[in-house]
Amino acid sequence: MAAASKAASPGTLTTISVTITAEKLFVRGRAVEPLRLQAQLEALAERSPSATIAVQADATVPKERMNELVKTIKAAGFSTVEVATRPVP
């Protein structure tokens, strides 16, 4: 399945992908500046408050950075966050 979101009904997302690496951050496959992350997630939460955030992280991402990401996601209004790490190639 692609990392993009799937729609439950027009305009409503059921899963929103967030990818984090040691250097970059992506929401729904698009690069996001860290300072803009919460605003972008808040806009998505308004449209799809019950969506699940699926976080994919490189194994090189420090635990503290992952904790901050999850806090930001929750502060934006999402209650369900799934996290998976992947090895660095």
Give me the number of domains the chain comprises: 1
- Give residues with Cβ within 8 angstroms of 33, minimum separation 6: 25
Give the domain range for residue 11. Answer: 7-86
Which CATH number covers residue 53? 3.30.420.270
**Domain-embedded: residue 32:** yes
Neighbours of 73 (CB within 10 A): 22
Q: pLDDT, tens digit, for every residue of 18-77? A: 999 988 999 999 999 999 999 999 999 999 999 999 999 998 899 999 999 999 999 999
Q: Residue 89: pLDDT band by 50, 70, 90 thresholds? A: low
Which residue(s) pair with 40 in the sheet? Answer: none
**Domain-embedded: residue 2:** no
**Domain-embedded: residue 29:** yes
**Domain-embedded: residue 1:** no
Residue 87 has pLDDT above 90, yes or no: no
What pLDDT does residue 11 have? 63
What pLDDT does residue 12 have? 74
Q: Residue 9: pLDDT band by 50, 70, 90 thresholds? A: low
